[in-house]
Amino acid sequence: MKIALAQINPTVGDLRGNARRIVETARRARAQGADLVIFPELCVTGYPPLDLLENPSFIEAVQRTLDGIARAVPADTGLIVGAPVPNPDRVGKRLYNTALLFENGDLVDSVRKTLLPTYDVFDEYRYFEPARERHVVVWRGRRLGLHICEDMWNNEEYADYHLYEENPVDELAAMGIDLFVNISASPFSLGKHALRNGIVEEICREHGAPFVLVNQVGANTEVIFDGDSRVHAADGTRLLCAPSFEEALLLWDTEVETGPCPLRHDDAADLHDALTLGIWDYFHKTGAFDKVIVSLSGGIDSAVTCALAVDALGPERVRSVTMPSPYSSPGSVEDSLALAENLGIPCPVIPITPAVEAFQKMLEDSFRGTEPGTAEENIQARVRGVTLMALSNKFNYLVLSTGNKSEMSVGYATLYGDMSGGLAVLSDVYKTQVYELALHINERAGRAVIPTSTIMKPPSAELRPGQLDTDALPPYPVLDEILRLYIEERLDLDAIVDATGHAPEFVLRILRMVDRNEYKRRQAPPGLRVSSKAFGLGRRLPIVMRWDREEIRAIAHGAATPENAGS
């Protein structure tokens, strides 16, 4: 039997475009001899469709689209697609997340998802009822262990949040199967390849059955899917792997020996490819903009953002601008212009002094008798924001904001200033990783696209004379380690102190900065997710809250009770 793995890039809500892509891909697979063509989870709607799923008209249109797909697929070809299907019962969530097997225009069988991820960026129980029962899909004499994404992840070693009671993979194996088939919308994060590989190998070895995994590729708003579709033999060997971060059609002839295929291990390359895919898809799937624009400061964040944009869209679709102030170092404009020249894009210089001075004048009365401080620094950042947005509005540019995850974590950024934009490219990339990306970009280009002086200079916001990031923040390697333990590993004060050996007061200061800046992040543009815990959709914290860790430590250690509280 020849099985095609159709790693496609659907667009959320674009039922007709997605259907067209499915039908065309199925025909191409058939032309190559495929008997069965397998598409990703919810490929008809794109993932995540979010509250579109609550719109009855949308769900009705999905069912019509499924009918159309079934009719349009070549005769005698099996087709597995993922779509939301109404729950016929009076009780329960109104939909099932379903894998449907079509052949010759008919629905042959369907399988409902059992394990519904409802954590991090996932909200599946918001929409879907879990399946109550598992069953084997028998097709052309083969017993297929068909299941959906999370259904394979209920494993002590791999579960990030909690275990489920059911284990669909075990249940299916116990029923006797020839082959596991998993259709996924499994997002990328750094290291996810290895994780996915590990669990599939383990399942194959445990149950002695081969495994086909078909994953979505592409970015929908903040969530990036890497693809990484694959076939493993019954002993766990990887037989076929799709390329990551692009569409692919893999054909597996179950009768022909193949593999093993190598596993890619290159974090910098993954990061680069994930982010450029994220930029490409945001730009093309919205279809709302003519070009993108990046404000160049001479620093490394804006340089990397701009270089990624050019890698993603080509220089003809990227514009830049540099907006020096009297506090900009002389090198800043030079470095910005050098970068723009290296990338082959224009970079007008627009000094911000006229507007900054106008605001000083406007605020003279109100500010009289006060010392210059954050208010004045923010005016500079916001004047840049207004200028950039004016260019965006006038010429229909998408503004790519440039703040990294370290800055976004501790609030070292100006709301409505440098945080302005439609898409935050680096908001899930720590400063230390930005450096790795810069080196990778230059290595990939075979030349110093990003000027060496940009990479070497000490980070600075340049909002006052001689300002350095280290005036306000610890060195980035120290900061980033603490942030990663807090945000991705979800450790708290004591555990971070234990892990790093830093003083509790020092760690506490950083955690408080993170907590207190939730209000800024709530108003940040959506950011491309490349870690297991990004800001935005997958990390939901109250703005208004009073969690005082010192009080809580006192309670935990018995030093304080509600009795003596406040005394």
Active site residues: 41, 113, 149
Angle in degrees, CA 520, 310, 533, rounded to 5: 35
Q: Which residues of 508-543 are buried (b: 16+ CB within 10 A; e: fewer)?
A: bebbbbbbebbebbeebbbbbbbbbbbbbbbeeeee
Specify burial of residue 479 (Cβ count, 10 A radius: 0-12, 13-18, 19+): buried
Among 72, 195, 251, 263, which residue interacts with its own copies (rule: CB under 8 A)? 72
Among 286, 439, 477, 489, which residue interacts with its own copies (rule: CB under 8 A)? 286
- Residue 506 as a binder of its own copies (CB under 8 A): the answer is no
Spatial strand order of the sheet with 95-103 comes to: 106-112, 95-103, 78-86, 36-38, 2-7, 248-253
- Residue 378 as a binder of its own copies (CB under 8 A): the answer is yes
* Contacts with its own copies, 141-170, as mask; x by CB under 8 A: --------------------xxxxx-----
- Residue 297 as a binder of its own copies (CB under 8 A): the answer is no
Relative orientation angle of helices 15-31 and 56-72, to the nearest 10 degrees: 20
- Residue 237 as a binder of its own copies (CB under 8 A): the answer is no
**Closer residue to its own copies, CB minimum distance, 22 or 482:** 22
Place of tokens 């002094």: 353
Residues in region 519-538 near its own copies by CB under 8 A? 519, 522-526
**Closer residue to its own copies, CB minimum distance, 269 or 495:** 495
Specify burial of residue 201 (Cβ count, 10 A radius: 0-12, 13-18, 19+): middle
Residues in region 123-142 near its own copies by CB under 8 A? 123, 125-126
**Closer residue to its own copies, CB minimum distance, 225 or 252:** 225
Amino acid present at 513: M
Question: How far is residue 120's CA from residue 154's CA, in Å, rounded to a whole number?
Answer: 16
Q: Which stretch binds its own copies (CB under 8 A): 101-109, 179-187, 199-207, 215-223?
A: 215-223
Question: How far is residue 401's CA from residue 392's CA, in Å, rounded to a whole number?
Answer: 12
Among 88, 106, 374, 446, which residue interacts with its own copies (rule: CB under 8 A)? 374
In angstroms, how far is the first alpha carbon of the chain from the final one? 76
**Closer residue to its own copies, CB minimum distance, 235 or 489:** 489
DSSP string of 398-439? Answer: EEEE---HHHHHHT-S-TTTTT-SSEESSTTS-HHHHHHHHH
Q: Which stretch binds its own copies (CB under 8 A): 30-38, 69-77, 104-112, 189-197?
A: 69-77
Question: CA neighbours within 13 Å on the CB side: how many for 71?
Answer: 6
CB 527 within 8 A of CB 535: yes
Residues in region 393-452 near its own copies by CB under 8 A? 393-394, 415-416, 420, 422
CB 16 within 8 A of CB 224: no
Listed in sequence order, the residues at least 6 apart from 84 whose beta carbon sits closer than 8 Å to its beta carbon are 42, 45, 49, 53, 59, 62, 95, 96, 97, 98, 127, 128
- Closest approach, Cβ 166 to its own copies, in A, equals 9
Among 138, 174, 362, 439, which residue interacts with its own copies (rule: CB under 8 A)? 362
Among 107, 358, 439, 468, which residue interacts with its own copies (rule: CB under 8 A)? 358
Residues in region 78-117 near its own copies by CB under 8 A? 90-94
Strand partners, 148: 183
Q: How many residues of this chain interact with its own copies, rule: CB under 8 A?
A: 124
Give the tokens for residue 392: 């965006």
Relative orientation angle of helices 431-445 and 267-286, to the nearest 10 degrees: 90
Among 61, 234, 261, 513, which residue interacts with its own copies (rule: CB under 8 A)? 61
Residues in region 192-211 near its own copies by CB under 8 A? none
- Closest approach, Cβ 11 to its own copies, in A, equals 5
Residues in region 19-48 near its own copies by CB under 8 A? 19-20, 22-23, 46, 48
Among 106, 256, 257, 366, which residue interacts with its own copies (rule: CB under 8 A)? 366
**Closer residue to its own copies, CB minimum distance, 227 or 451:** 227
- Closest approach, Cβ 347 to its own copies, in A, equals 12
- Residue 281 as a binder of its own copies (CB under 8 A): the answer is yes
